[in-house]
Structure 1
Amino acid sequence: MIRRSSAAFVAAGLLAVAAPAFAAEEVNVYTSRQPALIDPLLKAFTDKTGIKVNTVFDGKSIEERLKAEGANSPADLVLTVDVGRLTDLVAKDLVQPVQTETLKKNIPASFHSEDGKWWALTSRARVFYVSKDRVKDGEIKSYADLADPKWKGRICIRPGDHDYNVALTAAVLAHVGPEKTKDWLKGVKANLAQKPQGSDRSQVKSVKEGLCDVAVGNTYYMAAMLADPEQKPWAEAVNIVFPDQAGNGTHLNVSGMALTKSAPHKDAAVKLMEFLSSDEAQHIYADLNNEYPVKPGVEWSKLVKSWGTFKADTLALAKVGELRPAALKLINEVDFNAGP
């Protein structure tokens, strides 16, 4: 689906062979985030600066699109989710560094790459959704507990090689090393109620239906379920538990941005990046998506506040991105997706 694109941008977005002409004050964005989640942000930027933003929504193949377009790509900026997708853009040499005082002031060091090739915008916590009826307060406290035999047949999780679970495994790997991480993966696998499948939300549905007692998922899915009449009963059947409050803290992942290597409108794109890191944009983004702003001091949405405060893992996400290949190797070595 393509939104707010000039005819030239549409053609170039599908298969660019030559860079089209644009007005001087434009920014072209490729995004894997649904338009409804970012359009209000981009409108606020245009209202503030007069700079037009053209967007192409692509949920799966932004990297392939950029590679095919090469130096002729019309894209200036990528907005995507998961540190893995951001680091993949870097690894494939599709983005360039940005270092401005505004970005460095607004976004903490743990939420961007050291060289400035990607910058986080919002974060989400990877938490436990536990049955209100079958799990007592304090009964499960840490990611390590997922491997405790007491939870045999009681855990639900999406496939281990999904980006979100690879990132979580990479964080575990950073903290405890490869041998203990492999043992942990084996333990979690043995405790699964079923073969890993579906989405984070479908795991919560399984808890509601009594198939399992604990599901692993991202926080913002709670908001999405509560907003959906069909899924609201799933959300109402569980409590949120923030793992590792007595240890390293709860694992975070991010949505983020990166300036493309070609960036025909670099100056305007950097202005948009700085705006997205501002108090105004961070507040809009956090409210729209019920995620956590990365800029310190920006107020959380009312719903997010209701879930309570928590200690977050301070592990640099660049380290998580670096360890993703090793984490995925361990996931595959234990044949995690085969299930219990």
Structure 2
Amino acid sequence: MKHLLLAAIASLGLLAACAPGEESGADAVPVTGEINVYSARHYDTDLALYEDFTKATGIRVNRIEADADALIERIAAEGEYSPADLFITVDAGRLWRAEEAGILAPVDSPVLATRIPANLRDPQNRWFALTTRARIVIYNKAKGKPAGLDTYQDLAKPEFRGRICMRSSSSVYNIALLSSLIAHDGAAKAGDWAKGVVANFKRAPQGNDMSNIEAVAAGECDISLVNTYYLARFDTPEKRKVLESVGIIFPNQATTGTHVNMSGAGVVKTAPNRANAVKFLEYLASDSAQKYLAGDNNEYPAAKGVAPTSAVEALGPFRADTLGAAEIGRNEARAVELFNAARWN
């Protein structure tokens, strides 16, 4: 009875992208099926994506949007009666948590195997990346490129004392980065790195990537770590002065490659509409869907052969770290401990 009640509540909470029987254009296919999406992505372009899928296939997309951890817990609590068909999140660590919670099922799809590179999907095909973003170093261009700053590890050097601005250690982006450093260098060295960076702070961690970009551009501090898509957002006539005031470094090009995080999706193990879920997942890997997913948010498309936006492309080419999401995810708890020990607030 508990599971039935949970499922009923979940069903009532689903929002429909298209109402039953609706057609979203003159050439639309009548709505005859559905898929229930539990998503941690909150972008307006996703609604257009859902509508286009419904128009092409006749499958209505219902959605619940919430924090990824809450969605994972909800699907697990709903159990075999969950209405969830597809889980979407915006962090590699959350994909790993969904794996560990046992809520995702393998998908054997030649389309996805061809479209999504092996390093951007689960080895057992329980999830597939949709987009990626790189975590890069920025610096105040007027003060010049900091000598000796080529890797994430270099940020802990004493010569950068009092020059770094950062966001909080609670950021999933920082947690994922430190998790990757644990995988590459071991926990001891990763902990020393966190302490070294804290010693180099110009101010206590604050704001977000956007505000730290502005701080570096204004000369309030010299160096920061930000995601590429935040930087690309400044490529507009109104904000370009900020963009032109900062230089960028893709770290670790001669070693492990630049750390990337991803958004991704997987079919729920108990999906009541599994065939529709697989069809939608394959659609998300298509050229048109990839442009929706990556374009408006200035991310890198995960599918092969799809170019990023001009704003992202202007940041330049780089070699990405191919560390798997599982390695990042299983180190996240340790990363939080190391951040706390370093007093990176």
CA contact (8 A) 2:93 2:325 kept: no
Is 1:105 aligned to residue 114 of structure 2?
A: yes
2:116 pairs with 1:115: no
TM superposition shift of 1:279: 2.6
Tell me the amino acid that sits aligned with residue 122 of structure 1.
T
The residue type paired with residue 297 of structure 2 is N
Equivalent AA in structure 1 for residue 291 of structure 2: H
C-alpha distance in 2, partners of 1:306/1:35? Answer: 23
SS in structure 2 of the partner of residue 180 of structure 1: helix
Provide the alpha-carbon RMSD of the alignment: 2.6
2:139 to 119, 130, 134: 130
Identity %: 40
For 1:48-87, what aligned pairs fall within 5 Å after superposition? 48-59=56-67, 61-87=70-96
Structure 1: how far apart are the matches of 2:72 and 2:85?
Answer: 13
Matched to 1:169, the amino acid is L
Deviations 1:90-139 (A, max 9, x none): 22223222232221221112111212222111100001121121232765
Q: Which residue of 1 aligns with 2:156?
A: 147
Indicate conservation of the 8 Å contact 2:179/2:332, yes or no: yes
Query: Among residues 153, 171, 175, which one is paired with 1:166 in the alignment?
Result: 175
SS at match of 1:243: coil
Q: Aligned to 1:282, which of 267, 270, 290?
A: 290
The answer to whether the 8 A contact 2:213-2:231 is kept is: no
Q: Number of residue pairs matched?
A: 324
* C-alpha distance in 1 between matches for 2:226 and 2:257: 16
- In 2, Cα distance between the equivalents of 1:188 and 1:81? 26
Aligned to 1:194: 203
Deviation at 1:304, TM superposition (A): 1.1
Q: Contact between 1:207 and 1:213, CA under 8 Å: does it hold in 2?
A: yes
Structure 1 residue 236: Cα displacement: 3.9
Separation of aligned partners in 2, 1:228 and 1:270: 41
> Which moved further from structure 2: 134-143 or 257-266?
134-143
- Partner deviation per Cα, 1:51-96 (whole Å, 9 max, x = no partner): 1112222246322432443333222112210101111122222322
Question: Which stretch shifts more, 98-107 or 59-68?
Answer: 59-68
Q: Cα offset for 1:9?
A: 6.8
User: Are positions 1:304 and 2:298 aligned together?
Assistant: no
Shift of 1:10: 6.1
Asked whether the equivalents of residues 209 and 226 of structure 2 are also in contact (C-alpha less than 8 Å), the reply is yes
Structure 1 residues 1-340: aligned runs within 5 Å = 11-13=12-14, 25-59=33-67, 61-136=70-145, 140-226=149-235, 229=238, 233-337=241-345
Q: Take 1:9 and 1:264, find their aligned partners in 2: how far apart are those partners?
A: 13
**Amino acid across the alignment from 2:178:** T
SS at match of 1:239: strand
Cα distance between partner residues in 1 of 2:318 and 2:43: 30
- In structure 2, the partner of 1:3 is none
Distance (Å, rounded) in 2 between the aligned partners of 1:264 and 1:24: 15
- Tell me, in whole angstroms, the C-alpha distance in 2 between the residues paired with 1:69 and 1:35: 26
Do the aligned residues in 2 keep the contact of 1:110 with 1:318 (CA within 8 Å)? no
Q: Give the superposition deviation at 1:192.
A: 1.1
Gaps of 5+ in 1: 1-6, 15-20
For the 8 Å contact 1:24–1:265, the answer to whether it is kept is no
**Relative to structure 2, which stretch is displaced further, 69-78 or 297-306?**
69-78
- How many Å separate the matches in 2 of 1:332 and 1:314? 27
Letter of the 2:61 counterpart: V
CA distance in 1, matches of 2:229, 2:344: 25
In structure 2, relative to structure 1, the CA distance for the partners of 1:137 and 1:152 (3 Å cut) is closer
In the TM superposition, residue 161 of structure 1 has moved relative to its aligned partner by: 3.2
CA distance in 1, matches of 2:172, 2:78: 25
Offset at 1:238?
1.5
Q: Distance in 2 between matches of 1:176 and 1:27?
A: 42
Residues 47/198 of structure 1: CA separation in 2 closer, same or farther (3 Å cut): same
TM-superposed CA distance for 1:171, in Å, is 1.2
Gaps of at least 5 residues in structure 2 are 1-7, 22-30
CA, structure 1 residues 82+279, in 2 after alignment: closer, same or farther (shift >3 Å)? same
Aligned-partner SS, 1:207: helix
Deviations 1:24-47 (A, max 9, x none): 611111212124131232223223
When residues 228 and 331 of structure 1 are mapped into structure 2, their CA distance, relative to the original with a 3 A threshold, is farther
Q: 1:287 to 1:28 in 2, by over 3 A?
A: same
